[in-house]
Structure 1
Amino acid sequence: MVFGRIDRPIIFWEDGSSIIDESVTKLKRILEGKPETAFVTEQYMKNYTTIYDMCTQKPPENYSDQLYNKFRGIFEEYAKQTVLPSIMEKHDEYMLREFSQRWDINKIMVKWLSHFFFYLDRFYTARANLPNLNKAGMTCFRDHVYESIHFNAKQVIIALIHKEREDQQIDRALLKNVLDLFVQNGMESMDRYENDFEKFFLEETTSYYSRKASSWIQADTCPEYMIKAEESLKKEKERVTHYLHSDTEPKLIKGVQDVLLVSVAKDLLEMEDSGCSALLRDDKTDDLARMYRLYHAIPKGLEPVSEAFRLHVTSEGNTLIRQAEDKATNNNVVEQDVIRRIIDLHHKYMVYVTECFQNHTLFYKALKQAFEIFCNKKVAGISSAELLAMFCDNFFKKSLNDKSNDESTIESTIENVVKLLDYISDKDHFAEFYRKKLARRLLLDRNFNDEHERTILTKLKAQFGGQFTSKMEGMLTDMQLAKEHHSGFDTYIGNSGKPKGMDFTVTVLTTGFWPSYKTSDLNLPLEMVSCIESFKAYYETKTKHRKLMLIYSLGNCHLNGRFDSKPIELIVSTYQAAVLCAFNNTERLTYQELLEQLNLGHEDLARVLHSLSCSKYKILNKEPATKTISKTDSFEFNSKFTDKLRRIRVPLPPIDDRRRVVEDVDNDRRYAIDACLVRIMKSRKVFSHQQLVSECIEQLSRMFKPDIKVIKKRIEDLIGREFLERDTENPNTYKYVA
């Protein structure tokens, strides 16, 4: 079977063009809302087939090129003769509405005619390297309508946005449609939207809010200004949501922030009665949180806020220290009040950091810098390190008897102490003063709370390392062992059959853990001597490798004083007990006789005699009756002495060992600097002077701030001891001597 080719009749240009024109006219009338019947399938197929045949006919009757030009011509003619005049005759919102409607009509028209001319897109446009039909139709609108209208449209849009900023109602949907038109006429590029609208809109926005900022900063308080600024930013973000392109948001918000917040930051934060300092002073947490929200969104915006915060906290702290100085009399500082107020101040501003400033690192840093300034100032000549140690000592003593201090309160206070210590540069001073106070609590008070003592050491160890607390932990261990020795000694005495003589307790201290104490060859009463010898015999059964050295200055005794009115129990030191026992066999002794009999130094004997004859409790009568002790004085037992209590503690005049503590710390620092320098040079082998000093300061600054002059002296000492040597070619460079 053979199939033959069916020859189609040729469609000439005039005939095909007439059919197309008829359909285009019908389509225009439908789109413009004029009376017209809808397209039926036969009409659609007739148009499609006509154009198909005209494109597939052999040359010269192939009209693909002419049809493509006719497609463009339809849109150009419609844009020039119908669309543009209808838009130009309207104004303001009506012009925008017509502009938007005509764009919508153009899109529908492009869609329909692209279906009619579909065969052109299928083969012709791609082969001829021409824009497809959709783009060609859109380009015609852009070139002949958009280019003529966009300037006026932009002006109207900006005017409407201005009205909305002034709290008037506008048609947001209309603005969205028109601005989408700007975007779509960019033909997959944002250039049209950015250059024809956005640039001018952002300029107008800057101008508008510059005027507002100038007005508000003069008339409003800082909180009022921030509320308006925050509301303005919120409304601008809403505009992006409702009708602006999303790409505009970061540019718009940055512009508003720059004008409303960045440019006025200094004036706003420093407002006399309502700025950042006033808000902190008046506890305006909501306003401070708002300030944080506003400036947090700005790159480096929080820096001036954190600086204002730092300055305010520093001022508050310095005021606190000045007030403490004014209250201090004769160097007798009420350390409980000073440290407690600093703790309260820290708690107050830490709440601001965590709640208002959302734990931002800038504010932690600002708080730390502020506290480091005033926490390292002396009060009446007493360093903050010593004040903090004194605070801890008094707190632990009072907590034993104060039932209002529950475990949570004690735990909180301990945590606050550790936090404050982190701000103090001379942490080694605190450690030594604290160790001195701890020793007195453990040895003299006896009713210390082991759990509380270990709690603070645990927290100090976690914060500053094991070396910081190793000696103090050893002291607590010694006290635990002392209980075992006491029990063991009682068992030993019971088994030996030797009379104990009197109630006697010894605490064995490990040299190195405890502070150094003054020792003397005090001549004790015989009763005490026999007890000591018994304990030495017991201790030798436990170890033969340790030698006991008695420290009488730390001991205390309970004596029964038989006075005429009534017997009174006297709680005294070992030195005081030895002096009083000397009067058991005689009524009167001279200073010189006591000195020879007891083998005490003048300084110690004078302190003891002053406490027994010149203080509140005059157990001894002194001749002459002056307030000072001299070598020509004589003393006798005061049998007439009485007191309303049956047990009294006779205190010794306190010894100011502050200078000795500082000297001990300075010695330890020299050793620490030496060790650090050697450690650095051992790893570096060769190092310049400046680098060595800088790294030494950095490594030691966690515990104290070493003096550069001291570091230089230690370097010279290490050179003299042949740990280091100078480079022969460069004297500022050191070499490690292996």
Structure 2
Amino acid sequence: MKKRPFTIEAYKHRMVADPNYAEKTWKILEHAIHEIYNHNASGLSFEELYRNAYNMVLHKFGDKLYSGLVTTMTSHLRQISQSIESAQGEVFLEVLNRKWIDHNESLQMIRDILMYMDRTYVPSKNKTHVHELGLNLWRDVVIHSSKTRARLLDTLLDLVLRERNGEVINRGLMRNLTNMLMDLGLSVYQKDFEKHFLEISATFYCREAQKFIESCDCGDYLRKAERRLNEEMERVSHYLDPRSESEITKVVEKEMIENHMQTLVRMENSGLVNMLMDDKYEDLGRMYNLFRRVPSGLTTVKDVMTSFIRDTGKQLVMDPERLKDPVDFVQRLLDLKDKYDKVITMAFNNDKTFQNALNSAFEYFINLNARSPEFISLFVDDKLRRGLKGVGEEDVEIVLDKVMMLFRYLQEKDVFEKYYKQHLAKRLLSGKTISDEAERSLIVKLKTECGYQFTSKLEGMFTDMKTSYDMMQGFLASHGADFGDCPTLSVQVLTTGSWPTQSSPQCNLPSEILGVCEKFRAYYLGAHSGRRLSWQANMGNADLKATFGNGRKHELNVSTYQMCVLMLFNNADRLTCKEIEQATAIPMSDLKRCLQSLALVKGKNVLRKEPMSKDIAEDDAFFFNDKFTSKLFKVKIGTVVAQRETEPENIETRQRVEEDRKPQIEAAIVRVMKSRRILEHNNVIAEVTKQLQARFYPNPVVIKKRIESLIEREFLERDKVDRKMYRYLA
């Protein structure tokens, strides 16, 4: 049989609700809300109340329930607002806080009762949720009432002011009230409190900054500003919204730092310059940390510091008194560098911007003095000759590292190379160096800085010393038995291209020495064909055995020039300066220094001079001093060395440097043009300068002359249309 479909019929008669159901149910709920606000909620049945609210929504009376809630809550909040407004004095905030806490508790219970309405009716009708509704009503009825709004703001701001003036306030109460404003919405907190808080803070700190500027020195002012800044950050952490920290710190920074930056750094007797001079690292660190918080703050500090260092350095390098002692001159530069390195490390957090500014300042004033390369080389020479008193080689290494920093600032590194080569040659040939390791260490540093080409000749000097030692061993082994009573000879053979040898007049060596020299010449040329030997007497030294009055014997360590002079007195009792010059052929400038060291240095005066004076004239007479005495058997007589070149010597050195630069400039021009083929004049100047600046800064006029020379020799040609364009000729 066919099955019939099974259906459930609807009720034939709809359930008719009580016409007064909605009103009766609402009265029950309204009474419950009144009881909750009156703190009588303990006698209520929340389950029954929830069911009533549920049924009202279910039977489509949600509108009545929601509107009744708004009306009832508004009525209670008006009463609460009146009680708050009637509170007098400081009790006002306590009453407001207590009522706020009560309102939140009441709101929680009301929301529990109306939970079903909150979940179904409110979203479907786009109404405000119960909790948010309660907050909005509290804001509109209580906080924004005509009397409470202004009074709350004034009271809160007054408490902040009192705390700034040193009074103790109830921070817990303040925190509760600012949290209340935040709970009502960020816009409420910002408009009703933060905006005005920042305005009165700006006024407060503007006045305070002006008062401090007039009564404090820079260090005290910065300490007060730092304390105020810390106080505001602490205030935020205790009772303000965390987002207020950036806003209030901006106010303090602007009013106390940014608006007075120039005044602070230039403050007389206590500003940045005085802090730098007096090594006030704590104050400098505080200035750095505060100024870095404001726009252009660190730039202001850096500019003033750089200007001061430039002026200080300029005074140092241009002071005629300082130029008399090159070693002291460089030591003061190193001390100045150490001083400001320490400032940057201890106070400026190793800020690279400040380190670059310091380097720029040093580069500026070191190159103001054209003799800086010479003086730095003399300083190195002094340290590698004498070492450092009471310290080891590690400390010498530290000093050399510092010197390398000054070397980096030099724009004329080739001038330094010229002097350094001369000084190194004298140290090696005289054996007056603290250690080969220290010498080689510095050459490694120079190679790292400037490349192999810069140090190739310096390394060649060390190679020559080693080769010469091996050669002398062979010479002595083959001729040792032939010497007899002849003087012992030690020779260093110097490669002309590596050593700073100059074509000096040949000195007339004593006959006792000439024989041994000829033996060595024959040995050397026999081993090496096609070479020439030229004796450099100005670079040698000798040990002489001398007998004075009463048979006293001493061994004198002298230069070769001094030996030639002293040997003359084996056959003469009295000689004038002019006669000595004629007999030895020593240049007069060198001869005078020899005679000064032999006759005028106390304790080493193996000769006597008439008349006794520091200056030596050609007709001054010299005698052998047979009354010479010394506690030492071996007496070392140094030459009176010119610590620095005389002006004519300096000019001559400069001319040699300029001559050496010409082929380097030409080579750079050819390299540039070979790679570019066609190039405009100004671009050639720029690229050649860029290539050569590691060694020196070429003068554009000199570059132009070298271009002309290359054009004449047909390495380059001018463009026939544009005379400023050059073409490379392959």
The TM tier, using the shorter chain, reads 0.7 to 0.9
The equivalent of 1:240 in structure 2 is: 236
Name the SS for the 2:320 alignment partner: helix
Q: State how many pairs are aligned.
A: 707
Q: Which residue of the other structure, out of 515, 527, 538, is the alignment partner of 1:553? A: 538
Is the Cα contact below 8 Å between 2:574 and 2:623 reproduced in 1?
Answer: no
The equivalent of 1:205 in structure 2 is: 201
Give the deviation of 1:163 after TM superposition.
1.4
Structural RMSD (CA): 4.0
TM-score under structure 1 length normalisation: 0.83
User: Is 1:136 aligned with 2:133?
Assistant: yes
Name the SS for the 1:302 alignment partner: helix
The equivalent of 1:441 in structure 2 is: 427
Is the Cα contact below 8 Å between 1:47 and 1:116 reproduced in 2?
Answer: yes
Give the deviation of 1:277 after TM superposition.
1.8
Q: Which residue of the other structure, out of 445, 448, 459, is the alignment partner of 1:459? A: 445
Is the Cα contact below 8 Å between 1:442 and 1:448 reproduced in 2?
Answer: no
Q: Which residue of the other structure, out of 650, 672, 684, is the alignment partner of 2:664? A: 672
User: Is 1:396 aligned with 2:384?
Assistant: yes
Amino acid at match of 2:178: L
The equivalent of 1:67 in structure 2 is: 65
How far apart, CA to CA, are the structure 2 residues paired with 1:24 and 1:731? 103
Q: Which residue of the other structure, out of 685, 692, 715, is the alignment partner of 1:700? A: 692
Is the Cα contact below 8 Å between 2:284 and 2:347 reproduced in 1?
Answer: yes
Distance 1:672 1:71, change over 3 A: farther
Is the Cα contact below 8 Å between 1:687 and 1:733 reproduced in 2?
Answer: yes
Amino acid at match of 1:18: K
Write the deviation string for residues 555-586 of structure 1: whole angstroms up to 9, x where unpaired: 33344567787576555554565677678789
Distance 1:27 1:468, change over 3 A: farther
Distance 1:621 1:419, change over 3 A: closer
The equivalent of 1:362 in structure 2 is: 353
Is the Cα contact below 8 Å between 1:372 and 1:424 reproduced in 2?
Answer: yes
How far apart, CA to CA, are the structure 2 residues paired with 1:682 and 1:717? 16
Is the Cα contact below 8 Å between 2:29 and 2:53 reproduced in 1?
Answer: no
User: Is 1:37 aligned with 2:68?
Assistant: no
Amino acid at match of 1:456: L
The equivalent of 2:165 in structure 1 is: 166
The equivalent of 2:333 in structure 1 is: 342
Is the Cα contact below 8 Å between 1:554 and 1:574 reproduced in 2?
Answer: yes
Q: Which residue of the other structure, out of 511, 515, 518, is the alignment partner of 2:500? A: 515
Name the SS for the 1:557 alignment partner: strand
How far apart, CA to CA, are the structure 1 residues paired with 2:666 and 2:356? 31
Structure 2 matches for 1:34-433, cutoff 5 A? Answer: 35=40, 37-39=42-44, 43-57=45-59, 62-79=60-77, 81-90=78-87, 93-148=90-145, 149-186=148-185, 190-321=186-317, 325-326=320-321, 333-378=324-369, 383-399=371-387, 404-433=390-419
How far apart, CA to CA, are the structure 2 residues paired with 1:233 and 1:595? 80
Write the deviation string for residues 170-214 of structure 1: whole angstroms up to 9, x where unpaired: 22222222222222222xxx3332233222211111111000011
The equivalent of 1:660 in structure 2 is: 652
Distance 1:29 1:547, change over 3 A: farther
How far apart, CA to CA, are the structure 2 residues paired with 1:581 and 1:134? 117
User: Is 1:502 aligned with 2:493?
Assistant: no
Is the Cα contact below 8 Å between 2:544 and 2:555 reproduced in 1?
Answer: yes
Write the deviation string for residues 541-561 of structure 1: whole angstroms up to 9, x where unpaired: 765575544433323334456
Amino acid at match of 2:313: G
Does 533-542 or 484-493 show the bigger shift? Answer: 533-542
Amino acid at match of 1:388: I
How far apart, CA to CA, are the structure 2 residues paired with 1:441 and 1:63? 111
Amino acid at match of 1:44: F
Amino acid at match of 1:246: P
Write the deviation string for residues 211-238 of structure 1: whole angstroms up to 9, x where unpaired: 0011111011112111111110011001
Amino acid at match of 1:37: S
Does 659-668 or 681-690 show the bigger shift? Answer: 681-690
Is the Cα contact below 8 Å between 2:581 and 2:587 reproduced in 1?
Answer: no
Distance 1:720 1:104, change over 3 A: farther
Name the SS for the 1:643 alignment partner: coil
Distance 1:389 1:731, change over 3 A: same
Amino acid at match of 2:67: N
Amino acid at match of 2:42: T
Structure 2 unaligned regions, length at least 5? 1-5
Write the deviation string for residues 347-367 of structure 1: whole angstroms up to 9, x where unpaired: 222221111222112332333
Is the Cα contact below 8 Å between 1:303 and 1:362 reproduced in 2?
Answer: no
Distance 1:77 1:12, change over 3 A: farther
How far apart, CA to CA, are the structure 1 residues paired with 2:184 and 2:104? 11
Is the Cα contact below 8 Å between 2:606 and 2:625 reproduced in 1?
Answer: no
Q: Give the share of equivalent positions with the same residue, in percent.
A: 31
Name the SS for the 1:292 alignment partner: helix
